[in-house]
């Protein structure tokens, strides 16, 4: 299995006339930042003539005059497909960008590209112990450059760097595969949450310890800590346990905890 942080990543961002392709909103700018982590990425962006008034200039600063004479989406689609081919598509709130990609492709009778997708919004919600997951907030948290918010190239560049920072928080070893990162992009369903609770309770009953990755609320931007815990009490949202890393009783949030494996319980220090 190739680690996620060794795969080619293509961060995609659209600027649009509005929020809903179903209501006729169109793409007016597209950018792709592509490369493998640790390498200098390739940058590509272009303005796009939507065939209608811009409408949302107050958000992105793009005017009708700026789009006059620019290519339409059908003219840039081939290059966009080439930039995404063979890479993991990364976007912040990926559902938004994918909805526009699918709608624009449908207008020209083409099937939209279907690369594997990683959503940095979903990933941030799962691995960071903060309440605000906007791209601007996350850029400040990780000290990422974003010179012009709500322009496609700057947002794509920030997203390309952000997904790498979030992946390192999620897995300090750097060995997590694409499947693991994609799973972390989704909020746990009720069934998945219940399965974690059952496993925690089972470890308590069987008196085995658990090796877990945990994101601390005190240091939300730091990598998850891998630690061994011996479960003492399980509640719906928290678990009380002896933390062998800290040699102390600790309470952990279940939604910030990922179980790695079961381990024999070692004797406590002292």
Residues with active-site annotation: 150
How distant, in Å, are the alpha carbons of 86, 98, 111, 119, 176 from that of 114?
10, 9, 9, 14, 22
Residue written as tokens 């949202």? 237
Residue written as tokens 């793009």? 62
Query: Contact, 142 vs 165, CB < 8 A?
Result: yes
CA atoms of 67 and 55, how far apart (whole Å): 12
What DSSP line would sit under 7-28, residue for residue?
Answer: S-EEEEEEEESSS-GGGT--EE
According to DSSP, the residues that pair with 88 across neighbouring strands are 9
């Amino acid at each position: 299995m190739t680690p996620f942080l060794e795969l080619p990543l293509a961060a995609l961002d659209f600027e649009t006339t509005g929020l809903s392709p179903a209501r006729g909103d169109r793409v007016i700018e597209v950018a792709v930042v592509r490369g493998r982590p640790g390498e200098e990425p390739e940058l590509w962006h272009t303005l796009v003539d939507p065939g209608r008034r811009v409408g949302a200039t107050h958000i992105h600063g793009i005017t009708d005059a700026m789009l006059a004479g620019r290519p339409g989406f059908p003219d840039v689609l081939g290059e966009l497909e080439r930039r995404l081919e063979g890479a993991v598509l990364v976007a912040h709130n990926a559902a938004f960008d994918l909805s526009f990609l699918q709608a624009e492709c449908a207008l020209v009778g083409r099937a939209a590209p279907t690369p594997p997708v990683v959503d940095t919004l979903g990933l941030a919600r799962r691995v960071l112990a903060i309440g605000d997951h906007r791209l601007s907030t996350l850029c400040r948290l990780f000290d990422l450059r974003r010179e012009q918010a709500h322009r496609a190239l700057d947002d794509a560049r920030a997203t390309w760097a952000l997904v790498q920072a979030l992946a390192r928080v999620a897995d300090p070893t750097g060995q997590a595969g694409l499947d693991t990162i994609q799973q972390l992009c989704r909020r746990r369903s009720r069934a998945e949450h219940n399965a974690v609770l059952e496993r925690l309770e089972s470890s308590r009953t069987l008196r085995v310890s658990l090796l877990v990755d945990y994101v601390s609320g005190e240091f939300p931007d730091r990598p998850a800590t891998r630690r061994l815990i011996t479960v003492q009490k399980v509640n719906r949202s928290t678990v009380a346990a002896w933390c062998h890393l800290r040699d102390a009783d600790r309470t952990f949030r279940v939604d910030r905890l990922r179980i790695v494996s079961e381990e024999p319980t070692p004797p406590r220090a002292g």
